[in-house]
Amino acid sequence: MRPGISGLSLYLPPYRVQLQDWCSWNDESWEKTRSVVGRSFRMRGPAQSMYTMAATAVLRLINDFDVDPQSVGMLGLGTESSSDNSAGAIIVKGMVDDALESMGRPALARDCEVPEFKHACLAGVYGLKAAIRYLSADGKGRKAIVVCSDIAEYALGSTGEPTQGAGAVAMLIDGEARLLEVDLAAGGSDSDYRTVDFRKPFARFRQPPRDDGQMQDLPVFNGRYSTSCYIDATHHAVSSMLSKRPGRQSDYFDSVDRVFMHRPYNQMPTTGWVMAYLFALAADEEGRSQLREYCRAAGVDAEALLLELDTASPFDESIVSGESDGDVFPISRKLRQYLRGLDLWQSLVVDKLSLGSNWMRDLGNLYSGALPAWLAAGLRQAADEDLDLAGEEWLALGYGSGDAAEAIPMRVSADWKQWAARINFSEALGTPVDLNEDQYLALHEGRTGEIKPVAPSAEFVVDSVGTKDSPEFQNLGIEFYRYVA
């Protein structure tokens, strides 16, 4: 078996906020926002939910990659935006089955497993790993689909507000990967509980109901602390992976061809990747000598930097109590700024993290869908530009707040190009509707009656929401869906 990813399809809602407009509404620097965050983000619109986006992405995957629905033995849902605390992927399966029936096609297999995965933005990566394990055991000869669907919403005025987003990415997983072969045995994992990093406690829902009846899933988070947690977790996952390889850890940063990471906003992968490199250098004396050279040139205290890399941990009582801003790598930040001016930056960052990254600036944060969306963008861009990627070694580095990370080595399949040409990235971007400030606020606050909805086409919508709550029959809060051809 050469298990891995054989197809990727996306769904993005048509409602877009241009961050240059958002900056003018909020008196924020467009130059800084464009550099750190991106260009725009998408928003869930009227009659849309996490489930409608997920089902649309799955149906597109089945159609785009000629999947026999009866061959699918596992449909996994990765999300942190589910609004039903009992059912999960089975909701998506039911919707897709209805649409397939309307097309005169067979439904997904009745013996299809339907798990839901939850761990913040890492949910889809856990789903990917579970699917490959399924295919290597009782699912041999079958196919699996893992769909990542999320709605990233942040409070108005918060530091997370410009990093919002919404969308879904479906991945086709099988035993003979046509796009990316995945080597789970060579990967690395990390997990460590981080309390106030990024949470979604039910206590948040003690608020007045919205006009649209939808739950608004605003997280509890602390920005600088979350960045420190991202750095710490991704470093440990990479270190776990590299412990299985011979040679110096830092040598890997030269040998890997492309890197794709969880992407909450434009600058975060760069920060995480460079920090992983600094940690790898600090792992042996030769690398520590190189770090001292960098520090001398940058005017940074080398011993203080090494102490920070050796001992810094995001968990600290001053952070948990709110007495600290949570930035536990301040000296490393100064050295990263210096490294940006070196030729090293081109080979370490630009050459490895650029493929597909320009398209990602217009998606916003897709939470669990951010990493697979970037893989899709990179593959489709490479196909469009007729690049020669066959045999390249890629790293997919997933992260989930709270706190866990996965480093997964991948290899580009020999015949990847013909299948990458089917990835619907540009079609998913489509021709969005740019929201003005009043429309943005209306959508954010659930006043969807003030928004002229875009006519749905080849997608699912929320047709109604149950209101009955009697001893004889209940459907209170249950969403009912409809496929619009």
pLDDT digits (tens, 9 = 90+) for 152-180: 999 999 999 999 999 999 999 999 999 99
- Average pLDDT of the chain is 95
Q: What share of the chain is helix, strand, coil (3-state, %, to 5)?
A: 40, 20, 40
Which is nearest to 7 in space by CA: 59, 84, 70, 83?
59
Name the pLDDT band for 271 (thresholds 50, 70, 90): very high
- Sole residue written with tokens 């039911």: 94
* CATH code where residue 97 lies: 3.40.47.10
Q: What is the pLDDT of residue 126?
A: 98
**DSSP 8-state symbol, 425:** H
CB 51 within 8 A of CB 149: yes
CB-neighbour burial class of residue 310 (10 A; exposed 0-12, middle 13-18, buried 19+): exposed
3-class DSSP state for residue 478?
Answer: coil
Q: What is the pLDDT of residue 222?
A: 83
CB 60 within 8 A of CB 103: no
Q: What is the pLDDT of residue 70?
A: 98
Name the pLDDT band for 5 (thresholds 50, 70, 90): very high
What is each CA distance from 334 to 46, 49, 141, 173, 271, in whole angstroms? 45, 42, 52, 42, 12
pLDDT digits (tens, 9 = 90+) for 83-129: 999 999 999 999 999 999 999 999 999 999 999 999 999 999 999 99
Cβ burial 86-120 (10 Å sphere, 16+ → b, else e): ebbbbbbbbbbbbbbeeeeeebbbeebbbbbbbbb
- Average pLDDT of the segment spanning 181-210: 86
**DSSP 8-state symbol, 312:** -
* Upper half-sphere CA count for residue 222 (Cβ side, 13 Å): 19
User: What whole-number distance in Å separates Cα of residue 47 and Cα of residue 95?
Assistant: 15
User: What whole-number distance in Å separates Cα of residue 139 and Cα of residue 115?
Assistant: 14
Whether 209 has a pLDDT exceeding 70, the answer reads: no
pLDDT digits (tens, 9 = 90+) for 213-233: 677 888 888 888 899 999 999
Cα-trace Rg, the chain? 22
Q: Which domain holds residue 424?
A: 4-484
The token duo for 473 is 């029959």
Name the pLDDT band for 206 (thresholds 50, 70, 90): low
User: What whole-number distance in Å separates Cα of residue 171 and Cα of residue 153?
Assistant: 24
Distance of CA 375 to the CA centre of its chain: 10
Contacts of 252 (CB under 8 A, 6+ apart): 242, 245, 280
Whether 138 has a pLDDT exceeding 70, the answer reads: yes
- Sole residue written with tokens 């060579």: 186
In the chain, how many domains are there? Answer: 1
Name the pLDDT band for 79 (thresholds 50, 70, 90): very high
User: What whole-number distance in Å separates Cα of residue 116 and Cα of residue 134?
Assistant: 14
CB-neighbour burial class of residue 435 (10 A; exposed 0-12, middle 13-18, buried 19+): buried
User: What whole-number distance in Å separates Cα of residue 153 and Cα of residue 214?
Assistant: 13
Whether 182 has a pLDDT exceeding 70, the answer reads: yes
Whether 212 has a pLDDT exceeding 80, the answer reads: no
Whether 203 has a pLDDT exceeding 80, the answer reads: no
End-to-end CA distance of the chain: 37
Strands annotated E in 346-431? 393-400, 404-412
Rounded to 10 deg, the angle between the 223-242 and 268-281 helix axes is: 50
**DSSP 8-state symbol, 161:** G
